[in-house]
Amino acid sequence: MKRGFIILISCFFLAKAGLTADLFALLPPAEICDNGIDDDGDGLIDCYDPDCCAADECQYSYYDPCAMECVEDFTPQAISVTREWTSNANNWHPYNTPIVMDFDGDGQTEIIGNKGTWQGLIEYKNLLVLDSYDGTVKAEIETPWFRHTGTTLCAGDVDLDGASEIFFRISGAFRNEEAIRGKMVCYSFDGNTYAQKWMSTETVSNGIPSLSDLNRDGIPELIIGNTILNSLTGDILLEGPADGANGNGISIVADVLPDEYCGYCKDEELIVGNEVYAIHLDEDNPSNNQLILANRVFSGSGNHGDGFTVLADMDMDGDLDAIINSANDGTTSTLYVWDIQQPVIIDHVTIIATTEGHASIPAVRDINKDGSPEIVVSSSNSLQLFSFQDQLFSNQWAIETNDWSSRSGSPLFDLNGDGFFEVLHRDQEFFRILSATDGTVLFEDTCRSTNLYEYPVIVDIDEDGAAEILCSCENELRAYGSASSPWVSTRYIWNQYAYRYTNVNDDGTIPVTAQFPQIPRNRFNGSLLQYSNEFEKSLLSVNFDLDTTIQQGQSVLLNPLVNTSEPVSFSWSPSDYLNCDNCREVVATPMENQEYELLITNAAGCSASGTATIQLVSCGKSEIAIPNAFTPDNDGHNDVFEVYLKPSINPQGFIRIFNRWGNLVFSANNLQATWDGNFNGKLAPSELYLLQIGFTCDDGIQQVINGELYLLR
């Protein structure tokens, strides 16, 4: 109220001077909840902004920015799993990462994947369209041949007709006509059947396609490796250098560089492996299109090269870093974190891989809620979790698997909303749900496949408000759900291998301006994540280990135990005698008995507080007198060294005297002891000695005083 009152009075006087319009021009604008713009400049767009909580425009948005129930602790709950259905026809290829969208515009999602049974590394053709409610085949799409080992799909409603298009790369195999080998192709539902919409006129390198609106003109671009195409026509808009990185075929688009970093760094950049490109698309004159290498990190002794790339704010400095799993020439891969804004490797670790040096896409999330992300990756016959604390890798756990490929992905999700994340992983023998905390197997089901890049996905396939898991096994697709209480609610879509839920809208369209992934409550800061409002119960508590008593004039570190599921702000009260009033840890030097309260608050509106009490005692140098010289010459005056105590001092302390070489020349465990200046039966030389006096006050406070002592003869 005070702030509003001051503004009102100021406006009155400024109006007299004709300056009211200038004042309001300085005030931040309000967030408009349906224009795709961050109006108030807080980094949050439309329904991601808490200002839009309960707004009509956000009624059907998957993201809920409203305040939530606050709790002080989470309790692990058992995971209970059932198989809801298995696809029919026995012809679903196990290399599929299922793509879930509304492909025919009927308002219900379908599942699309490659047709075929595992018979070796050979080509297959045709796509299957499955009913998401029961797994039955709704349609089969006639396509050219493609290789499952390097082909994945992506989808999105790029022409805004209510039905999503399907994109993939045609195989360069001899089974296809030479004229179409290696070209991109788009299929869509025309109202009666699925038909080819376009085929690119030129070939593209092998890779994993994705969709983003790079120039924010409302027409998404199709990206595969370092090649950019028009998603409506298949025309190639830009190509990176043939010898450039391609991120193992995965392209990531985000605003990772400051606007002033380069001439075309204002909007989003293209990150492929160890290279980042600025993008300039000229709609009026495509000949001016440019893909400009803005930064790269060079390969070297650490093998920091091209590879599977994902983005997250790993060093928690507010901008995105690249997490790259780079296949080496031998039997290892290198997992490293690159600060994209400069050619700096923050840290790296070597991972055992196959004889071909393959690597998996990293899954990233702050699993233990310590503010620093963890990383899950596959290695040869192992699944591992690394922490990234203080910008250093540390292996937290590893479990044995039957994954020779070292390429399979492992999404992270909190299925039952208990505040603890699970890892979903399928190897050559089993589909497993594991505790992300320690790798404990929570559920296991036989699911055979010679696995490669694929991974299970989390979607609400039947729109019942509860998440399910889709997992490809040999010749079939399975849907898993909860066998007891429903799992948490989630989205109905998973549109591409490099899925990030801020990069696709609920209706399958691609956002013109994508939400910055590292900002909203830190929930989007990772990869292989599906949305859920897993923090409907927002964890928040603060406690202090103990209250303390100190000597007057001393300082004490106040280090509270903060338990939180998301970032918080800190406020200390009172702020007197503190070195900081908005830090987590503070140093207090009170001049009197003092009680300090710490209030912590998160973006959801939850708050918690704790108090620390500091008692002061005056026992100290004023209670003890320590001479700094004595003259042991037997003249009856000042012949021995002794300390003088007030009654508040317990005499059961210690006296230690050292010569200038650090050798102990006198020691006593009673403060009433005296030293006559002799050492080992001989006169100690006249020189400077060092004192150490320890004592205990009546209230139990221990003190140690250091000083100097001159022996004069």
Judged against a pLDDT cut of 50, whether residue 711 lies above it is answered with yes
Q: How far apart are CA 530 and CA 415, in angstroms?
A: 10
Confidence class for position 520, pLDDT limits 50, 70, 90: low
Per-residue model confidence as pLDDT tens digits over 42-77: 888 999 888 898 899 888 888 887 767 778 877 888
- Paired tokens of 386: 């690394």
Q: Is the pTM of this model over 0.95?
A: no
b (16+ CB within 10 A) / e for 99-123: bbbbbbeeebbbbbbbbbebeeeeb
Tokens standing for residue 266: 């204002």
At 635-656, the pLDDT tens digits run 988 999 999 887 767 778 899 9
Q: In this structure, what is the dihedral angle of CA atoms 653, 659, 660, 662, given to the nearest 10 degrees?
A: -70
For 266-297, write each residue's pLDDT tens digit: 888 999 989 999 999 988 888 899 999 999 98
Q: Distance between CA 496 and CA 529 in Å, rounded?
A: 12
Categorize the per-residue pLDDT at 525 as very low, low, confident or very high, splitting at 50, 70 and 90: confident
Q: What is the pLDDT of residue 16?
A: 40
Give me the sheet containing 110-114, strands edge to edge.
99-101, 110-114, 123-131, 137-147
Q: Round to whole Å and give the CA distance between 571 and 597.
A: 8
Q: How far apart are alpha carbons 380 and 76 in whole angstroms?
A: 30
Backbone phi, then psi, for 79, in 5-degree steps? -95, 120
Residue 120 confidence class, pLDDT cut points 50, 70, 90: low
* pLDDT of the residue at 24: 45
pLDDT, tens digit, 9 for 90 and up, residues 491-505: 999 999 989 999 999
Q: Say which range, 91-95, 104-108, 248-252, 567-571, has the weakest mean pLDDT.
A: 248-252
For residue 536, pLDDT over 70 is answered with: no
Task: Report the distance separating Cα 47 and Cα 363, nearest Å.
Answer: 26
pLDDT of residue 155: 97
Q: What 3-state class would DSSP assign to 203?
A: strand
Beta strands 476-482; 81-86: pairing state: antiparallel
The pLDDT value recorded for residue 18 is 47
Band (pLDDT 50/70/90 cuts) for residue 699 is low
Judged by DSSP in three states, 95 sits in coil
Mean pLDDT computed over 185-201 = 95
323-364: pLDDT as tens digits: 999 888 778 889 999 999 988 899 999 998 876 778 889 999
Mind listing the pLDDT tens digit for each residue in 81-96? 999 999 987 789 888 9
What is the three-class DSSP state of 228? Answer: strand
Please say whether the beta carbons of 228 and 238 come within 8 A: yes
Tell me the average pLDDT of the chain.
86
Query: Is 620's pLDDT higher than 70?
Result: no
- Calculate what percentage of the chain has a pLDDT beyond 70: 90
Structure tokens at 392: 């250093």
Mark residue 248 as left, alpha or beta (left: phi above 0; alpha: psi -120 to 50; beta: remaining): left
What's the token pair of residue 297?
A: 């990190």
Give the residue among 399, 413, 393 at the shortest CA–CA distance from 324. 393
C-beta atoms surrounding 317 within 10 Å? 12
**Which residue has 């089969």 as its token pair?**
140
Whether 307 and 325 have beta carbons less than 8 Å apart is answered as yes
Q: Which of 301-315, 595-609, 635-649 has the lowest mean pLDDT?
A: 301-315
In whole angstroms, give the CA distance from residue 660 to residue 663: 7
Q: How far is the C-alpha of 299 from the C-alpha of 277, rounded, in Å?
A: 17
